[in-house]
Chains A and B, each alone.
Chain A
Amino acid sequence: MQQERKILVIDDEEVVLDSCTQVLSGPACKVLTAGNGEQGLRIVEEAEPDLVFLDLKMPGLSGMEVLERIRAKYPLMVVIVITGYATVGSAVEAMKKGAFDFLPKPFSPEELRLITRRGLEHRDLLVQTSALRREKELLRENFAAIVSHELKAPLAAIQQNLFALFTELEDKLTDSQKELCARLKSRLDDVLKLVNSWLRILSVDLNKLKETFKPVSVGTIISRAVETVQPHATRKNVVIQTQLPSELPRVMGDEGSLTEVLVNIINNAVKYSYPNSTVVVRAAAGANEISIAVTDTGVGIAKEDLPFIFQDFGRGKRQPEGATGYGIGLTISRRIIEVHGGSITVESEPGKGSTFTIHLPITLA
């Protein structure tokens, strides 16, 4: 069933209010009127109309001011401005401020009906989109909550009881029994880690990062990432070399997640390197972007694997001995970089090595 529509007309000309009411009123449509901006805003608050016709030129609170206040508080409310003779300039300004359309005076009943229909259709679309977005949000949150409770909780309970059991038995177990226990624990750890990674991909809305973007120094994130990966490289006898120009422009972004991306990519480079080799991290600034390239001389990626390495849980066929991971790192990395308006590219030759390059737009500040 179609709900009754509410349309508000704000205009200081009584004749406009009157004719709009006559033309638009009907069984499915209620027309409210206000003779000035203040009164209009009051009715907007009380009735929350679907559509507002707003005269730009009124004594007192100006139409532009009313428009701004409505847009700030009710983003789903559709506002159409009514403009006087040949005042296209102010109509354009109003559209820039978020008005859906404009209606020049004088207008015919037919024009009014047409623009009203379009405005209400737009309103429906806005409301539907917003409902869908909210539903998607809820689904994601619920899914994460379900996975966390139904999958993680039993695993955590098993692990916790094993811990208790091992503690009780500590001095009674033979070495080979201890070894079995250690294996049990480590496999369970792996599954728990997998569930956690899953949750991260599914539950964290990376777009939210945008709300807290700040200028980030590329040099800082590179050195921090190298520092993090250093122990892994030292264990494998791999040298990490950085080649940075003395000055690099900043990028707009989230320092933590950008560092995470670099850690991930440098870590991969070390993981797929042969011992006693070098991983090179280079940064360079172009006209519009900064590129950070990480090059290894390791196992490389087979051509047939290349299209899949950025997909969820995709891992190449050539795995060095003892390599662990679930193929989630690159997926998250790519998503993080895309949220920053950049991209990750890869060049690789099996047996010779790979270069992963992060491209980030330069901040215009």
Chain B
Amino acid sequence: MSDRKRLLIIDDDPEFVTGIKAILTRAKYEVDVAHNPKDGWTALKSKDYDLLLLDIMMGRGAEGVMIARKLNKDPKLRDLPVLIITGIREQIAFLFPGQAVHPHFVPVDELVEKPVEPKLLLEKVEALLKAAEERKAKAK
């Protein structure tokens, strides 16, 4: 395939983002960054992305969850694969009381914990992109 895949990172921790952005750029992905949910949503609406890397705890709470839910309701963005990168896997249990302690408490495809090893990160990204391609091919 000739054209490079375009990824968007939404995460409010700029230092962390430089780390994953460097790894993804080196792996020949085109990477955009939004440092808050609002800019992130604007970017998603104005440009076509192949994958979203999403932080959970931003701003005043679990705003990443709200983005994931909004995506799921948007007919155009519903099929965008999402990789959640979070520092709070263990704490999800009490931050979201009453919901099962399971990565799928939000409508996202995958979840990895911060920090994420480059190999694991690239594997997950590739797998999600591939699955999305296959879904698209099947739809046609």
Contact = CB atoms under 8 A, between A and B. Distances in A.
Contacts of A162: 19
Interface centre among A164, A168, A196 (most CB of B within 10 A): A164
A326 to B, nearest CB: 15
Given A160-B16, A164-B23, A203 B118 contact: no
A interface, by DSSP: helix, strand, loop or mixed? helix
Contact of B19 (A144, A152, A164, A192): A164
B23 A203 contact: no
B16 A148 contact: no
A199 B19 contact: no
A163 B117 contact: yes
Interface in A192-215: 192, 196, 199-200, 203-205
Given A149-B57, A153-B87, A160 B116 contact: yes
A188 B120 CA distance: 18
Interface in B53-96: 57, 87-88, 90-91, 93-95
Given A163-B115, A167-B118, A199-B90, A145 B95 contact: yes
Given A164-B118, A192-B115, A156 B93 contact: no
Interface in B79-134: 87-88, 90-91, 93-95, 114-118
B26 interface: yes
A68 interface: no
A364 to B, nearest CB: 30
Interface string B34-55: 0000000000000000000000
Interface centre among B23, B95, B116 (most CB of A within 10 A): B23
Contacts of B19: 157, 159-164
A149 to B, nearest CB: 7
A141 B15 contact: no
B91 A163 contact: no
Contact-size category for A: 20 to 34
B94 A156 contact: no
B107 to A, nearest CB: 23
Contacts of B114: 152-153, 156, 160
Interface string A139-180: 001001100110011111111111111111000000000000
A163 B15 contact: no
Contacts of B93: 204
B20 A167 contact: no
Given A148-B57, A153-B13, A162-B19, 20 more contacts: A144-B91, A145-B57, A145-B95, A148-B88, A153-B16, A153-B114, A156-B87, A156-B114, A156-B115, A157-B15, A157-B16, A160-B116, A161-B19, A161-B22, A163-B115, A163-B116, A164-B20, A164-B118, A167-B118, A204-B93
Interface of B: 13, 15-16, 18-20, 22-23, 26, 57, 87-88, 90-91, 93-95, 114-118
Interface of A: 141, 144-145, 148-149, 152-168, 192, 196, 199-200, 203-205
Q: Kindly list the 4 A-B residue pairs having the minimum CB-CB distance in the complex, ordered from nearest.
A: A160-B19, A164-B22, A159-B115, A156-B114
